Structure 1
């Protein structure tokens, strides 16, 4: 069990309704429901009974509620004890952000940060993974969200998101290729991969390229650095019908009727995002921000 799951369960019980708890946690109701269902499946017991008026706790749920409250209280107590050895928050927290993140991840983490450290101001910069790591080492960022974990003992990292990546296709192409489990990766042969510039995230690019080649797909030439702005370019390229692009479920950008997102059968591509910060940092507000990122998002978001 993860702390995020325990917090979600306690919130639902205390709120008495899934929708009310979702608003308190700043997550969508379907995402919260999936978290509770996954927790029940992992434990092999029914924790909540959904009714037309809310939720009712089962005997197993009552047992878990007491344990969960104890675990969360001890966790918070440990953080408070360690915080006495660290520097206080305040000032500006400079955060590096990639172009695509689960839509609820940053708002929830920033909300928790604001509650715990109201004097901390956040400055966000959209940068590639390589640029973020360089900025961290140059002292120009306090924490970054990157697609590849950097090497070296000078930076600490925590895995905060794992996403099963799907594919964006022209609607008529998706209709032809999509099966009951989604689009098979090898069925994309003959289409061009609308890639990002390798210079921005070499390890993630190479991982993707290796997966594509293993399924018989042509990677094509590297693209210019300007193509980092893939959000603006993806839709027109895919809509024309000759290309595909990758995107996670719940992609936060609107899709026209001419473009469709489909899962990839077997989930062959997993995109990971790490929070990375200087190993010498002792900022409490930074630690709270990273903890909020770890608690909020499921390790693997599924279609």
Structure 2
């Protein structure tokens, strides 16, 4: 169980309502409901009684509530105690990152940060966008690289990078569909999309799937919640045939000869990544990293993208 799950459960019990708790946590009610269901499955007990008027903690839920409050209090005390020994120049900068990033996105910003603040250590964690938003709000990370712009006034964000997604196909299939300007999105009708779960980044998922549907692509059943779409999964699924996956042109994963990356004609799918941080933060090293990540010129399509 993670600290953010504990905090979310405590808020749900305190509010007595999933909708009120979702507003307080700045997350969607369906996402919060899924988190509570997953927590119950993980622990193997019912934690909440769901009623038309709200939710109540079960006996097991009251036990977890007491323990969660104790753990969270001890966690906050530990952070406060340690922080007294650190100076602004001597600290850890906790960075959340998604599974896929341009290989050179962080190289220069971290080099600039290290030069300016040599005693700041960057600690990176792979996390979904939804998990990063929760972690930013519960002070578990200091900066997040997220797939959607945060909503609300408690988080600030700058655009870090734009990537024009292309398509991964079995090489023989790609050869049939290829055109001088790339593969048309509607040419993928009849193939299955190797998708990712919505709960990790709801806004980006909705934007992406709306574009796919508008071109006649049947998305099929959604990916199970919490199932990360790692590179190996994409490659294995595409290699099996009858499917396609999406990937940026500078994807770092090596591809076998049986799979080809191709641009999409007209570049209809643009994946954006923002650097987000708490609006209340006054850390200068955070500001330095964010300034270095600020994308002042949107990335242009790259015709020299690697194909294999």
Using the size of structure 1 for normalisation, the TM-score is 0.69
Alignment root-mean-square deviation, CA: 1.4
Partner of 1:152: 152
Partner of 1:233: 233
Partner of 1:71: none
The whole-number CA distance in structure 1 between the counterparts of 2:274 and 2:293 is: 10
Runs of 4+ in 1 over 2 A off after TM superposition: 87-90
Gaps of 5+ in 1: 1-86
Q: Deviations over 1:251-289 (max 9, x none)?
A: 111011011100000000000000000000011111111
Q: Cα distance, 1:109 vs. partner?
A: 1.3
Partner of 2:299: 300
Partner of 1:290: 290
Alignment of 1:1-303 (within 5 A): 88-294=88-294, 298-303=297-302
Judge conservation of contact 1:168–1:259 (CA < 8 Å) in 2.
Answer: yes
Q: Cα distance, 1:230 vs. partner?
A: 2.4
Q: Cα distance, 1:246 vs. partner?
A: 0.5
The whole-number CA distance in structure 1 between the counterparts of 2:195 and 2:174 is: 19
Q: Cα distance, 1:232 vs. partner?
A: 2.1
Judge conservation of contact 1:96–1:145 (CA < 8 Å) in 2.
Answer: yes
Provide the secondary structure at the position in 2 that maps to 1:253. Answer: coil
Gaps of 5+ in 2: 1-86, 303-308
**C-alpha distance 160-202 of structure 1, shift in aligned 2 (>3 A):** same
Partner of 1:22: none
Provide the secondary structure at the position in 2 that maps to 1:93. Answer: strand
Relative CO higher for 1 or 2, CA cutoff 8 Å, sep ≥ 6?
1
Q: Cα distance, 1:301 vs. partner?
A: 4.1
Q: How many residue pairs end up in the alignment?
A: 216
Q: Cα distance, 1:186 vs. partner?
A: 0.1
The whole-number CA distance in structure 2 between the counterparts of 1:106 and 1:298 is: 16
